[in-house]
Amino acid sequence: MDYKLKKEEKLCSRMAVDRLFSDGKSLMAFPLRAAYRLRPRGEHPVQFLISIPKKRIRKAVGRVTLRRRVREAYRLNRRELLQGPLEQAGWGVDIAFVYLDSNPAPYSVIDEKMRSLLSRIALAASAEKPPVNREP
């Protein structure tokens, strides 16, 4: 499996982000919260964004460090989503990871919580009915 993160995997569209937070579901594994929204599989099966609020982590250095830790944990563990139920069921997913704690967590904690969140999202996707293919 290719472990590179490509630009296409980042969730950049304002409309997609608005839909994610208005229509999506949320899971929590402290210090991370994942908001996710299942959608019919398109060109990119999984798109994600990472948010480290300035209100929680005041220094930019701390926010950048945490963003790197969360991104690395996602990059190494995303195969649970890509090679699992999402691929078989025909779902795509948009995910937002939000850091909740006021103190920076070590990478080992973030990695463990990321695995937990991704497996729970995969489980939720496998429980959903497959999307209807709208192609003529």
CATH number at residue 109: 3.30.230.10
Domains held by the chain: number: 1
Domain that holds residue 92: 7-127
Residue 133 in any domain: the answer is: no
pLDDT: which is higher, 22 or 83: 22
Angle of CA points 92, 10, 33, to nearest 5°:
75
Residue 136 in any domain: the answer is: no
Q: What is the mean pLDDT of the chain?
A: 89
Angle of CA points 128, 39, 94, to nearest 5°:
110
Residue 2 in any domain: the answer is: no
Residue 21 in any domain: the answer is: yes
Question: H or E stretch including 46?
Answer: strand 46-51
Residue 11 in any domain: the answer is: yes
Query: Using 50, 70 and 90 to split pLDDT, how confident is the model at 43?
Result: confident
In the chain, the amino acid numbered 23 is D
